[in-house]
Amino acid sequence: MNWDQVEGNWKQIQGKAQAKWGELTDDELTQAKGNRQELVGLVQAKYGKAKDEAEREVDDWMSGV
């Protein structure tokens, strides 16, 4: 699945993101709308990760969606 597909199906995929990153709120995930950079920023901010680490984690998660 590519990011265009993720954005298009975000309402269905949002629950999987919530399961992966439990500290992210529904409102934050809704606001991200499946945008990769938004999601990376949220993971980075909530979990105190470096940008490259957050990007890897989001990309790894997305490959399993």
Sequential pLDDT tens for the chain (65 residues): 788 888 899 999 999 999 999 999 999 999 999 999 999 999 999 999 999 999 999 999 998 88
What is the Cα–Cα distance from 65 to 62, expressed in whole angstroms? 5
H helix or E strand, kind and range, residue 42: helix 36-47
Per-residue confidence (pLDDT) for residue 24, from 0 to 100: 97
Domain extents in the chain: 26-65
Per-residue confidence (pLDDT) for residue 25, from 0 to 100: 95
Q: What is the pTM of this model?
A: 0.90
